[in-house]
Amino acid sequence: MRYFFLSYAHGQHDDLVEAFFTDLSGEVREHAGRDRDDEVGFRAHHDANADHWSPDLVNALQTAHTFIALCSPGYFRSPSCGREWWVFAQRLANLRAAGLPPPALIPLFWLPTEIPAHLTDLQYSDPSFGSAYEQHGIRRLLQLGRLRDDYLEFVTAVAIRVTATAEQHTPPSLVPSPTFASAADAFAVEAPPHRSPSPVRRRSPAKLPLLTYEENRDDDEYR
């Protein structure tokens, strides 16, 4: 059983993403009662400029029970990440039609991020994830040794949510199977007819509790 699909923008901190993926996979195995060698998650491997998906990535997108998005400025600029998000959202649409709650798309903040206005209806906060995560984001939890305990508690909370959601919901696969070319970019906003394209409207970080951080944002970081 594929409990989660981890979607992220490839960049300068792939080693930290891998560490988070490994830790989360271990916690999911513990809470799901799985063997230590069971592959409970999938971490997307692709070049940032790739225009196709591997069969393994497509299979994971089609079978994963939850979708974890590591939100960052670079993430919302990635056409591939936008397509991964779109595919899973389409799978969840069938659960909505059946009247079931679809809490399986789980956005997590990797670092300070402004959310595209058309995506702000999702739940971006969870009290069980802890105040340190809300203040710093995942990357800083991994980097700062003094936050190690907070990081471990955060990973456990995410694993509990992933496990519970995955065991309660099975989003159906799409037919036909999606490809990079057939999937839409969920982060792109089409301009109104007969008008010039306008920038994506974004919600100010000050209006989102999760987006308040102690550190100053480096605009060139993690692109």
Which CATH number characterizes residue 183's domain? 3.40.50
Question: Which of 21-25, 72-76, 217-221 has the weakest average pLDDT?
Answer: 217-221
221, part of any domain: no
Residues in the chain: 223
DSSP run (H or E) holding 164: helix 148-168
Tell me the pLDDT band of 139, cut-offs 50, 70 and 90: very high
Q: Is residue 82 one of the residues assigned to a domain?
A: yes
110 falls within a domain: yes
Per-residue pLDDT band for 125 (boundaries 50, 70, 90) equals confident
Residue 75 is part of which domain span? 4-211
**Lowest mean pLDDT segment, chosen from 36-50, 72-86, 93-107:** 93-107
Among 4-13, 116-125, 196-205, the minimum mean pLDDT is found in 196-205
Q: Tell me whether residue 141 is in a domain.
A: yes
> Per the domain annotation, does 220 fall within a domain?
no
Q: How many domains does the chain have?
A: 1
- Nearest-angstrom CA–CA distance, 212 and 207: 9
Residue 219 lies in a domain: no
- 205 Cβ contact list (under 8 Å, min separation 6): 112, 113, 114, 211, 212
Q: How far apart are CA 46 and CA 57, in angstroms?
A: 9
- Compute the mean pLDDT over every residue in the chain, rounded to the nearest whole number: 83
- Cβ atoms 10, 46 nearer than 8 A: yes
User: Ramachandran region of residue 10, left (φ > 0), alpha (ψ -120 to 50) or beta?
Assistant: beta
Sheet arrangement for strand 4-7: 41-43, 4-7, 66-71, 105-109
